[in-house]
Each structure stands twice: as structure tokens, then as C-alpha cells.
Amino acid sequence: MAALKEPVKIFIVQALACRDTPQQVAELVAQEFGIQIDRIQCSTYDPTKQRGKNLSKKFKDLFHETREKFDTGLIDIPIANKYYRLKEIQKMYDDSGKNKKTKQVLLKQAFQETDGRVTKQEITGKDGGPKPNEVFMRYINSSGTGEWVSQNSSGGNSQFSGKKIVCFGDSITEFGTYPTQMANRLGATGYNIGFGGCRWAKHDNALYNEMCMYKVADYIATDNLTGLMNAAIALRDSSQADDNTAQVARLQSLDLSTVDYVTIFHGTNDFQGLNPIGTDSDMTGDTFKGAINLSLDKLLTKYPNMKLMLVTPIWRARQVSGDGLESDANPNSLGLYLRDYVEAIKDMGKKYHVPVLDLYNNSGISKYTKTLYLSSDELHPNAVGYTHLANLIAAKLSSTY
């Protein structure tokens, strides 16, 4: 881990206290101090998490004091503070004049900074009247006012209004903002059920294995998530100190018979974890296609009205941190390329008549655009990348269903 000076540590503690995610804080540290750290190191400065249990009393006190002030809106910490960022967005908005495109982007950014917590969102024709060829949106503040801005036919979709969308996946989902952004774009409610490090198929760590998709689908099919929660608790209390209990609790709180849409975004860890692809007829968690077979069979048998969509892995710039082995040109030690796992997902989508969003080939994320879309770890999206994914996933759901 990178050695950090006191000002950097204070910055991290306060940013986490202001409810930024560890990944967001890592990116902020890179921007502000030119220091490369990962989300794992950031999470050790959050005393509410297992990894931060050994944080010094000084930083624990600073965290809790900052959190209390942030939650009551009394704090003014530049950059780490969402209120500060919102003020900066407001300045840019005021300076944008009549540039509707810029205003649209800034309004959406402000909406995302507040996690969608606004008084009211309206989608209609200009000034509230009908205008079929152009959609306008305004985010109404507490005083009941808000400027109409053209959405160019994007924004909330009445078909998805009030619907529930569950997003299963790995760390790209767990630490990502795309479930919330995608749901906001569609006017739905998104539920993030991401388990970092997990796969479609079997994991060699018994606790992580319980959170892989083929096992999660089995728990769902039996209407009993107790074993999943027990595994999450054991993993939290193990030397891994990886706390996934919140995601399991979120899943437990859902009546899955009322869930309308499910996206499953796995595969990159199967490639990295050397899971064999197998055949279309496999029914075992030991192979990639076998795990997809088990998962889809169980989910669709249990909830035939649930609308599923599979999402392929995105291009990755490395296999392990810093090795530069980008996925187009470099196979894993089984001789399989990431695109082989992508094609396997597409095969299984065809078998089950389930739509597939091919992010590997059609997202525009590549060696040419990695600095635009990927974070400094060259695997997970940055803020721009997550918004890009949210837009692509929302568009695919909307055009399919």
C-alpha cells in the first residue's frame, strides 16, 4: 500500500464520511494529490466497515464528527463534500447561458450527486405542455421551481416508471453507480446486488463461492437466503474482512415476485479465475456455461415473468494490477480470451431467448479510450465510465422491453 501523509489521510477520512464510495475517493486522491491508491486501501479509513476497525481514535473521531455534520448539512469541506460540488455545478450552470446541452449534462450531474433525492421529477413537453417530438425534464426544488431542459427524447420512460430493476454482478456492480443512474434514467428503482470478486461459476474460495451467481440463483429458487447471509457474515469476519452483508440484506428485503427486470453482469472474474467454458448442455457450477445454465434455469423456472438481460464483461487493460496484459491480445493460462467468455454469454442468451448487451464489443471501451472510461486500476470504470454504462444498459432495456 502507498504510504500516505497526514493531509491525504484526513482527506480520505472526510471524503468517506461524506458518503463517497472508496472507488470515488481513490480517484479524488489521484486527482488532488497525484497519488495512486485503490479502493481497498481507502476502505481502511472507514471505521464503520470491517477493514477500518483498527483506525486510530483520532481518525475515528474525525470521521464521526464529519459524518454528523455532513448528514445535517452543516459541513463545508471542498471537493470531498457533495454540497461543495453542487455549488460548483450551480456556478457552471449559471455560466452556461442558453446552452441547453450543457445545462442538461449539469442537471443530470446534480441529480446524481444527490442520489436522486429531489422533491419531484417531471418529464413532459416544454413548459409542461404536450410536445411529442421532444422530451423536456426539470428537477423541481423545495420552492417548487425548476427550469425545463430538453432531454432529446431521453430521460424517464413511463414504461419503467415505478418498476424494480435488480442488478447482479461483481465488483464493477458492487462499487458502481450504474444501477442507480440507469434506474433514474428510466424512472425505475434500482437495487445493487454486486459481490466483488465473484463469478458466474465456481470460486475456489468457499465463502466467495456462495455469492457466485449459480449459487445465488439456487438460494433464490429455494426461497431461503439464510446460507447466503451466513457466508457473507463469515467472509466479513474472516481475514478477508470483505463485508457483503448489506447486499444480502438488500436482496432479503425484496419480494422477488414483484421484481420486473434483472440484469446479470458477470464474467470478467471467470476469465481471471480460470473457469473453463464448458458446453451448452453442462448443468454444473464447475464450468462457465454450466453455471449460466443453472442460473437461468432456476431463475426463469421460479419467476417466469421476470425479464432478464445478460451483460457481458467490458474490455480490461490488465490481468493483474500493473501487468499491462490487455484482454484483446492476451489469453488467460487456459488459453482462453475474454472474448471467448463474451461469446459464451451470447450463446446462452440465444439458448434461453434472453437479450444480451455486448459491452465488450459495443461499448467503445478499449485501449484507445481507457483513460476516458476506466479508473486508475485499469479494470473498473471511473465516473464517466459508469455513466456511460448506465446509459447503454438503460437504452438496451428500453429498446428490448
In this predicted model, what pLDDT tens digit does every residue of 8-33 receive, in sequence order? 898 899 889 888 888 888 888 887 77
- Helix, strand counts (H, E) of the chain: 18, 8
Please report the sign of the dihedral spanned by the C-alpha atoms of residue 247, residue 250, residue 256, residue 259: negative
pLDDT-derived band at 239, boundaries 50, 70, 90: confident
Lowest mean pLDDT among 82-86, 126-130, 334-338: 126-130
Q: Which residues of 294-319 are buried (b: 16+ CB within 10 A; e: fewer)?
A: bbbebbbeebeebbbbbbbbbbbbbb
Domain boundaries, the chain: 6-71, 99-150, 158-400
- Of the candidates 162, 152, 243, 168, which has an alpha carbon nearest to the alpha carbon of residue 212? 168
* pTM strictly above 0.95: no
pLDDT(141) > 60? no
Q: Per CATH, which fold does 158-400 belong to?
A: Rossmann fold (3.40.50)
pLDDT-derived band at 394, boundaries 50, 70, 90: very high
The predicted pLDDT at position 154 comes to 42
**What are 26's three cell numbers?**
481513490
Q: Is 221 exposed, middle or buried (0-12, 13-18, 19+ CB in 10 A)?
A: middle
pLDDT(204) > 80? yes
**What amino acid is encoded at 170 in this protein?**
D
| Residue in the structure block whose three cell numbers are 450504474 | 178
Separation CA 188–CA 161 (nearest Å): 5
Separation CA 228–CA 219 (nearest Å): 7
Separation CA 166–CA 255 (nearest Å): 11
